[in-house]
Amino acid sequence: GQNIDQPTEMTATEGAIVQINCTYQTSGFNGLFWYQQHAGEAPTFLSYNVLDGLEEKGRFSSFLSRSKGYSYLLLKELQMKDSASYLCAVRDSNYQLIWGAGTKLIIKP
């Protein structure tokens, strides 16, 4: 079967750095996405990886290792507004997105 694993919840301090991990087992791989979802709102796109390595976008970076079925999202200089759920999704061989349950990130002052 297809499976995306992420930690359920993480806590970090304002101004710090946090890494959210995602491991996947899917039928085929055609890219990995990270989305942010604030409570009661729709998911919004953060990053896309299809090749191994690090993609940096401001305070957010995403890493992919296809051989290990592993990705992480790195958030630097955490702000209170970063409190949200972070969703990992893999595009499978049918070009459909398979979604993890999300990681709820709590930022403390």
Partner 1 sequence: IAGITQAPTSQILAAGRRMTLRCTQDMRHNAMYWYRQDLGLGLRLIHYSNTAGTTGKGEVPDGYSVSRANTDDFPLTLASAVPSQTSVYFCASSAEAGGNNEQFFGPGTRLTVL
> What residues make contact with partner 1 under the rule CB under 8 A?
4, 30-31, 33, 41-45, 48, 50, 87, 89, 91, 95-102
The answer to whether the CB of 32 falls within 8 A of the CB of 84 is no
**Of residues 74 and 97, the one with the C-beta less far from partner 1:** 97
**Of residues 4 and 75, the one with the C-beta less far from partner 1:** 4
- Residue 80 Cβ, how far from partner 1 at the closest point, in Å? 23
- Residue 108 Cβ, how far from partner 1 at the closest point, in Å? 23
**Of residues 24 and 72, the one with the C-beta less far from partner 1:** 24
- Residue 100 Cβ, how far from partner 1 at the closest point, in Å? 5
**Of residues 14 and 41, the one with the C-beta less far from partner 1:** 41
- Residue 17 Cβ, how far from partner 1 at the closest point, in Å? 25
Burial grade of 92 (CB within 10 A; 0-12, 13-18, 19 or more): middle
